[in-house]
Amino acid sequence: MTIQNSDKSLAEFRGLIDAIDAEILESINQRLKIAKKIGAVKIRKGAQVIDPERESALIERLMARNKGPLSRESLYHIFKEIITISRQIQTPQLNDYLGPGATAVYAVIGDPVSHSLSPVMHNRAFAHTGYNGVYIALRVGDIAAAVNGFRALGFKGISVTIPHKVSVMDCLDEVDARAREIGAVNTIVNCDGRLVGYNSDYLGAVKALADAVDIGGKTVVIIGAGGAARAIGFGIIRSGGRVVIINRSPEKGERLAEALNADFHPLSEVREIEGQVLVNTTPVGMFPHAEQMPLEKNLLRPDLVVMDIIYNPLTTRLLSEAARTGCRTINGLSMFVYQGAFQFELWTGEKAPLDVMKAAVESALQRV
Ligand code: ATR
């Protein structure tokens, strides 16, 4: 009888312990989820992720609160372990960076770069494929000094953005023939100490267009005459398409049209779109001026394929008007992710996880 009673109470106690263990497990997982969110916010804000001072203060606070029978030493071990796991969860790329072995370092350089989505896209791709790399954003003024620094530090690859895509070419050991023809480099690969420049913008643009239309034999009207228009124009011609440039300032537009053997029309004089595809390469419609569009909406026709290289917002006014008109539309996310995928493949030699990269950029855009 006595044995029966004590059996029952033992079972009750075990039930209590099981319930407490389940609660502890739940609490630890909750804590890790929150730590992960904090890490993401800090990374986004460019703040220091690991904060040893705060971690020590936390353990001190718990020790002061502890009434036992847990010893100070045991408390320390338990929370030290939880903090270590939180660190790992908060900073996957930092773990690689701090860990043994050679972590490959990559960067996007430009001015400004603080809003670049390349770090989120490439770090997610590195993490997904298990590649031991880390990708950071660096604001760079003096491009020649920066490139020498990367050489000395052994950076494995660089993405180059405004305003350095042209001037960086003089700082490299070699420029790929296509990038030389385009006159701009947006990707640098460190090949055992030799810095080689490529252009993945044109590849990205062509692949994004090719998802929606067969460019061969088509006439593509490009709005704008800057670096992006130039890269896309060359890409279209290489794919067997014909290009028409329309631009605000005639001098710049005519110069590009001549280089591409294309027709040119001043933007203000355009009365109809004379092709099957329209691509906006100007910043008109970009956040925070999302209400603007680069040309009159009555120029749109339902049979046009309309692409915008702007990805913030994802649906620009041009694209929403085009969709309303009945056009097929391509947003700037495709080109951005495809050009990033070409970079990833040049750097790692591995196939880029396109869907993962796209999802990373999409979710980052939702937080902007
Ligand atoms: P990128 O190298 O990224 O293409 P860019 O060299 O500054 O950038 O080129 C931007 C293009 O957008 C230019 O062709 C510019 O027209 P101008 O040549 O007349 O300067 C065009 N652009 C910029 N702002 C514009 C605006 N508000 N309306 C029309 N076109 C504009």
Say if strands 219-223 and 263-266 run parallel, antiparallel, or are unpaired: unpaired
Question: What is the reported pLDDT for 91?
Answer: 64
Confidence category of residue 224, pLDDT binned at 50, 70, 90: very high
| Percent of the chain residues past pLDDT 70, beyond the cut | 93
Residue nearest to atom 26 of ligand 1 (CA): 284
- Report how far apart, in Å, the C-alpha atoms of 313 and of each of 119, 143, 207, 287 are: 19, 29, 21, 6
Work out the pLDDT band at 95, boundaries 50, 70, 90: very low
Specify which residues 100 forms β-bridges with: none
Q: What pLDDT does residue 99 have?
A: 46
Q: What number does the ligand 1 atom closest to the CA of 282 have?
A: 12
Q: What angle do CA 182, 184, 189 make, to 5 degrees?
A: 115
Q: Is the CB–ligand 1 distance for residue 247 below 6 Å?
A: yes
227 Cβ closer than 6 Å to some ligand 1 atom: yes
Give the pLDDT confidence of 173-191 residue by residue, as tens digits. Answer: 999 999 999 999 999 999 9
Does the structure show a pLDDT above 90 at 323?
Answer: yes
Dig out the tokens for 282 from the structure. Answer: 């100007």
159 or 77, higher pLDDT = 159
pLDDT (average), residues 158-167: 94
Residue 50 sits at φ, ψ, to 5 deg, of -90, 130
Q: What is the tens place of the pLDDT at every residue in 241-297?
A: 999 999 999 999 999 999 999 999 999 999 999 999 999 999 999 989 999 999 999
Cα distance between residue 301 and residue 284, in whole Å: 20
Q: What is the pLDDT of residue 92?
A: 54
Which pLDDT value is given to residue 3?
43
Q: How confident is the model at residue 55 (pLDDT cuts 50, 70, 90)?
A: confident
The Cα 162–Cα 56 span in angstroms is: 42
Q: What is the pLDDT of residue 6?
A: 57
The per-type count for the chain, helices as H runs and strands as E runs, is 13, 12
Q: Which residue's CA is the closest to the ligand 1 atom numbered 18?
A: 249
Atom of ligand 1 nearest to the CA of 227: 2
Among this protein's residues, is 36 annotated catalytic? no
Residue whose CB lies within 8 A of the most ligand 1 atoms, among 248, 269, 280, 308, for a mutation test: 248
Catalytic residue among 8, 45, 165, 351: 165
Map out the domains of the chain with their CATH numbers: 27-199+336-368 (3.40.50.10860), 203-331 (3.40.50.720)
For the stretch 99-139, pLDDT in tens is 446 789 999 999 999 889 999 999 999 999 888 899 999 99
**Residue 47: per-residue pLDDT:** 67
Identity of residue 345 = E
* CB distance 290 to 313 below 8 Å: yes
Residue nearest to atom 9 of ligand 1 (CA): 226
Judged against a pLDDT cut of 60, whether residue 97 lies above it is answered with no
Query: What pLDDT is attached to residue 96?
Result: 45
- Measuring from atom 27 of ligand 1, which residue has the nearest CA? 284
C-beta of 284 in contact with ligand 1 (< 6 A): yes
Asked if pLDDT for residue 319 goes beyond 70, the answer is: yes
According to the model, what pLDDT value does residue 56 have? 81
Sole residue written with tokens 């419609």: 285
Taking the centre of ligand 1 as the mean of its atom positions, its distance from the CA of residue 226, in whole angstroms, is 6
